[in-house]
Amino acid sequence: METITDELELGSADFFWRENDDGVRAVVCAPLEREGFANAFSTRGGGVSPFPGGSLNLAGFDQDTAENILENRRRFFSLLGGEWTFSGCWQVHGAQVRAVRNEAAARSEREHCDAQVTRTPGVLLGVKTADCVPVLLADARTGACAGVHAGWKGTLAEIVRHTLKRMQAEFGAEAVDVRAAVGPAARACCYEVGAEVIEAFREKFPRSADLFTPTREGHALVDLQRANREQLVEAGVRDERIHTLPLCTICRPELFFSYRREKKLYGRTGRLLSVIGRSS
């Protein structure tokens, strides 16, 4: 396993590349790892799936074979070292938060939710994305961590706030102790939305105008990474403990899958995984 530091490409000293012999490459949040939490944001290369050939598709059993996905996951998880029980879920663009209390519960991917929290060592929480914002949360004091899927609907529903509340209720975690990593997503440079989204945000968040850059009549570019960062700060997470990876899934096709870009071109797209867990 090789660790590669490339601050220029990643745009932040808080993140670094990690790569294995299969050519699988992922981004790791250094501050989370230093505090004892294995974590990684996947990229698209080094796999066995036809998205196109050699793609590391990590979810979507209706569009890829189980053999491909499981082999891709094996390659990706090997970047973390150790033995892990993966905990996925059926993401529905809502605000439900699932508590994973043991390894047996982690083995199901059928639970409908968009965030998971745990304090169980060896459980690896996963967030599946292809443009939506993945947010990883961890509290070294209690050992609790969380994986959050925040598309525009989840952001509107303030799913990161709900997740912080669940971490507190289940494990006693306080927002001031939490560290967060906001992963690759469709960014404000490329993610255009229509009037439905703009008006929904304006109605719920009166000060949301700064999140939008008008493009054409009834449309604007939206910054969902910033929206989730602001919600974390408002909930009590300290600004200096929030690390945002400034990479866009839409305009970096050599690195990431993008539903917005590839569904239109090819009719399907692969899925990325963002993961976090505590080994002991």
- The arithmetic mean of pLDDT across residues 234-260, rounded, is 96
Strand order in the sheet with 37-42: 2-4, 15-19, 25-29, 37-42, 272-278, 123-129, 85-87
Tokens 């914002």 sit at which residue? 133
C-alpha to C-alpha distances, 238 to 63, 176, 180, 270, nearest whole angstrom: 40, 6, 9, 34
pLDDT band at 87 (very low <50, low <70, confident <90, very high): very high
Q: Are 145 and 278 in contact (CB under 8 A)?
A: yes
Residues 6+ apart with CB under 8 A from 17: 3, 4, 5, 6, 9, 10, 25, 26, 27, 28
Q: Say yes or no to pLDDT of 7 above 90.
A: no
Within-domain flag for 205: no
- The arithmetic mean of pLDDT across residues 10-25, rounded, is 91
Give the pLDDT of residue 1: 38
Within-domain flag for 199: no
Within-domain flag for 274: yes
Q: Identify the burial level of 57 via C-beta atoms within 10 angstroms of its C-beta, where 0-12 means exposed, 13-18 middle and 19 or more buried.
A: buried
Q: Are 263 and 122 in contact (CB under 8 A)?
A: no
- The arithmetic mean of pLDDT across residues 203-212, rounded, is 95
pLDDT in tens, 95-137: 999 999 999 888 888 899 999 999 999 999 999 999 999 999 9
Give the pLDDT of residue 217: 97
Give the pLDDT of residue 268: 85
pLDDT band at 264 (very low <50, low <70, confident <90, very high): confident
Classified as helix, coil or strand, 117 is strand
Give the pLDDT of residue 263: 79
Within-domain flag for 263: yes
Q: Say yes or no to pLDDT of 274 above 90.
A: yes
C-alpha dihedral sign at 243, 248, 80, 121: positive
Residues 6+ apart with CB under 8 A from 275: 38, 39, 40, 42, 77, 80, 86, 124, 125, 126, 127, 136, 147
- Helices and strands, number each (H, E), in the chain: 9, 18
CB-CB neighbours of 70 under 10 Å: 13
Within-domain flag for 214: no
Within-domain flag for 165: yes
Q: Are 39 and 181 in contact (CB under 8 A)?
A: yes
Percent of the chain with pLDDT over 70: 97
CATH number of the CATH domain containing 154: 3.60.140.10
Q: Are 52 and 102 in contact (CB under 8 A)?
A: no
- The arithmetic mean of pLDDT across residues 255-266, rounded, is 88
pLDDT in tens, 157-194: 999 999 999 999 999 999 999 999 999 999 999 999 99
Q: Which two tokens stand for residue 157?
A: 């529903």
Tell me the longest C-alpha to C-alpha distance in the chain: 53
Q: Say yes or no to pLDDT of 196 above 50.
A: yes
Give the C-alpha separation, 43 to 257, whole Å: 8
Task: Tell me which residue range forms the domain holding 240.
Answer: 2-187+223-278
Within-domain flag for 201: no
1-9: which pairs have CB atoms within 8 A and are 24 or more residues apart?
1/78, 1/79, 1/81
Q: Which two tokens stand for residue 91?
A: 């993401």
Calculate the average pLDDT of the chain.
94
**What is the total count of domains within the chain?**
1
The pTM assigned to this predicted structure is 0.96
Within-domain flag for 99: yes
pLDDT band at 6 (very low <50, low <70, confident <90, very high): low
Give the C-alpha separation, 133 to 157, whole Å: 14
Give the pLDDT of residue 2: 39
pLDDT in tens, 29-47: 999 999 999 999 999 999 9
- The arithmetic mean of pLDDT across residues 196-214, rounded, is 96
Give the pLDDT of residue 4: 41
Give the C-alpha separation, 165 to 274, whole Å: 21
